[in-house]
A and B are shown apart, each in its own frame.
Chain A
Amino acid sequence: MTMRRVENGIVTGFTVIAALCWIFPLYWALVTSLRSEENVTANPGLLLDEFNFSSYMSAVFDTKLMIWYFNSIGTAVIVTAVVVLISMMCAYALSQIQFPGRRLLYFVVLGSFMIPAQALVVTQFILMSDLGLINTWAGIILPQLIVPVTIIVYKQFFDAVPKEMREAAVLDGGGEYTILFRVYLPLNWGITTALAIVTFIGVWNAFFWPFLVITSEDMMTIPVGITQVNDAFGVAYARIMSVAMLAAMPVVLAYLIFQRRVTEAVMISSGIKG
């Protein structure tokens, strides 16, 4: 029995050390961002030994970081809200209403899963150019509005709502929209928050498409904008790391605050936990 406990202790110790090594790059980025530029190159110590916020000040005041924040928050909030809304509506119809073409639509949803958006960037760019949407929020937003997995997850959850709920609501004279927003949505707030957070993180982090559709520095989102900083600063790692830390902060906070929801959403979306 003691053998067993010693073994357990060793494995736990190993796990903790492995986790600390895993997070080391982020720790190191934080330590670097809090050092003065001279110390970053002169002092190779591994411990957090300085709280110098000058490079953060420089990141905020000498770059367009605040403008990129604004663009990122604006586009990510809009995409998240629209994706959740249109997916919910579509899933509700698929789940609760019999209408011609329902099966076909479901196959379209499943099929859209398989379309690699990255391969479509050239023609999406041409389309956006025809619509005059290059360098606009709409240009960033529109091609990101399809997240088929949210429809499929919503459909599963709506399928699981007891039939009586719907029948009672119909007897009360509620229309489909009323039933969706007054009955089905409130019953599924949990999964709605989970899907919204995961969508938000995904959109916030999107790189390839925003990078193509935006060329003007004033319209860039955070992940695209921060790559400009290298060119502007040259080799100034404290400042580059400060910018990186500030760029990561919103999603890291969103994850830490809603950690359980994110875990739940990942497991449910992959179909492992229903």
Chain B
Amino acid sequence: MAMLENKRKKNLIALTLVAPFLIVFLVFFFYPTLKMFQLSLTDAPLIGEGNWVGFDNYVRLLSDRLFKTSLWNNIYFVLLTVVPTTLIALGIALMINRLTGRLQALIMVLFFLPYVLPVSVVTQVWMWMLDLQFGVLQPLISLLAGKPIAVFKNPDWVMPMIALITIWWTTGFNVLLFIAGLRNIPSELYEAAALDGATTRQQFFRVTWPLLWPVTALVLTLQLILQLKLFDQVYLTSNGGPFNSSYVLLMQVYREAFQLNHGGYSSAVASVLFIVIVVVSVLQFQLLRIGGRGK
């Protein structure tokens, strides 16, 4: 009897420990997720009731040109950022890894610093540097293109520029992951390789690269998920323009819900994005488990 009593008491205490997280999760994450799928099957406005329309919203998506543009721009942005930022971060990490002591710490701070900035600070600084008339980078752009360009108002330049800014903003984070990965490689391996007469290049491709592969896979997938959620930088620099050339899925979610008052249709777009990201996340989780990260 006392044992049972004890056990019940223990469960009750455990419940009070996990309840705060569980309640917040259920109310502010789980419920909105279910609600999103339910709403996507209606023609509801943002606030208020709607009628059940089955899969009409999803059928409409198939022929919605803006949706296709958004989807393509999301993919385009992923192509512009994911692999480049991974390679740049790896290069920077290798450079930093050669340094020692205070200089190493200082250089690491310089590369990481942009990552701690609010997104709107990042975009304002870059919009100033790229200002058509007074931007400090316009001479560089003139050199490349022959004339100054209002990059955020130019359909060819807008996405690559937002990608560049994003890479500058977020690479520091990936640098840290690569540095952690490099530090995990036992130095005996390099000593052994050196004894065998391996050149620096051989050491990199035979020792460093294979052992860094799990970290590389992690960085690639984390970036893929992050960059699919693109919204802030686009909203703040080009607002989806010009001519929808930087329109992305979250932008459509935002516009449909908050400007056009189409809660149902917006939820359908959001559901597609949701499913894409969850699928990628699950794949990532499996990939990393196979990669031997799960202890």
Contacts and interface: CB of A to CB of B under 8 A. Distances in A.
Decide whether A and B assemble into one complex.
yes
Contact of A208 (B128, B231, B267): B231
A114 B282 contact: yes
Interface of A: 8, 11-12, 14-16, 18-20, 22-23, 25-26, 28-29, 32, 40-41, 44, 46, 85-87, 89-90, 92-94, 97-100, 102, 105, 108-110, 112-127, 129, 142-143, 145-146, 151, 175-177, 180, 201, 204-205, 207-208, 212, 222-224, 226-227, 230, 237, 240-241, 243-244, 247-248, 251-252, 254-256, 259, 262-263, 266-267, 270-274
A100 B109 CA distance: 46
Nearest to B282: A114
- Majority-rule SS of A interface residues: helix
Given A120-B29, A207-B120, A267 B176 contact: yes
A29 B128 contact: yes
18 contacts: A15-B98, A16-B103, A19-B107, A22-B114, A23-B110, A29-B128, A94-B18, A99-B10, A99-B11, A116-B229, A116-B274, A117-B29, A118-B250, A124-B32, A145-B28, A180-B17, A208-B232, A223-B118
A90 B20 contact: yes
Contact of B267 (A113, A122, A207): A122
A226 B121 contact: yes
A116 B96 contact: no
Contact of B31 (A127, A207, A208): A127
Interface in B151-183: 168, 173, 176-177, 179-181, 183
Contacts of B198: none
A124 B258 CA distance: 13
Given A125-B257, A240-B128, A223 B267 contact: no
A37 B232 CA distance: 28
A19 B93 CA distance: 12
Given A25-B114, A93-B18, 12 more contacts: A25-B126, A90-B17, A112-B25, A118-B231, A120-B32, A127-B28, A176-B14, A226-B120, A241-B124, A248-B121, A263-B108, A266-B173
A86 B110 contact: no
A16 B110 CA distance: 10
B53 interface: no
Contacts of B266: 122
Contacts of A230: 124
Contact of B24 (A11, A146, A254): A146
A151 B24 CA distance: 14
A11 B282 CA distance: 40
A4 B16 CA distance: 62
Nearest to A119: B274
B17 A87 contact: no
Contact of A124 (B28, B46, B228, B273): B28
B32 A123 contact: yes
Interface stretch (B60-68, B72-80, B129-137, B189-197): B129-137
Interface in B87-126: 92, 95-96, 98-99, 103, 105-114, 116-121, 124-126
A22 to B, nearest CB: 6
